[in-house]
Amino acid sequence: MLEVLTATGLATAAGLNAGLPLLLLGAAARWTPLVDLPVGWTWLSQEWVLAVLAVLVVLDVVADKVPGLDHVNDLVQTVVRPTAGGLAFGAGVGSTTVAVEDPTALSDAGVWVPVALGVVLALAVHVTKSLSRPLVNAATLGVGGPVVSAVEDATSLSLSLAALLVPVLVVVLVAVVVAVVVRVTRRRRRPPPRARAALDEPAR
């Protein structure tokens, strides 16, 4: 069960920042004894892959904090983040970490099953993030976008670290993300103030 939490945390984190969980996973496997990647995923710890992931993280962090450019970045990331989520879940569910010494979950289901689960998780988070950002920018004249982006980066980092070190904490962090998703969804469905006023006004 812990390996599923690890994979879930990494995939969810990828929905906020595609490269960050993969970078942490690969770096931990290459330079520390904390992570042992499963067979077929050891390429994540290669230096050139880590370099590409580092560049991806920097580009995402910077572009996501510029109003207008953040929307373009979200469009591009519609492909990148779910893909990264699939890779993160697939690698994470079979990795040996300090909290998971003998990962066995989903090992007999085939490689595509965990990857597909990761794609769905990351896509759900990414779609919510992409839909909420225009609302934040409009409500704060663009000032709130960088702040929200920084919170998202911190959440992605926290989820990734929790997934690798203390998977049980992933339950709490994912619950927070889900609560935010529900709140954003309800807010988008609510009519704007003028529309509500028109609906509340009695017919003459």
pLDDT digits (tens, 9 = 90+) for 168-180: 777 787 787 777 7
At 184, the pLDDT band (50, 70, 90 cuts) reads low
pLDDT at 107: 54
Confidence of residue 40 (pLDDT cuts 50, 70, 90): confident
d(C-alpha 113, C-alpha 94), whole Å: 12
Which residues lie across from 36 on neighbouring strands?
96
Q: In whole angstroms, give the CA distance from residue 41 to residue 94.
A: 9
Q: Is the dihedral of CA 141, 147, 148, 149 positive or negative?
A: positive
Specify the pTM.
0.83
The single-letter code of the amino acid at 179 is: A
Where residue 199 falls among pLDDT bands split at 50, 70, 90? Answer: very low
pLDDT of residue 198: 46
Phi, psi of 85 (to 5 degrees): -65, -40
Chain mean position to CA 14: 3
| Integer CA distances (angstroms), 67 to 22, 60, 140, 150, in order | 26, 13, 11, 13
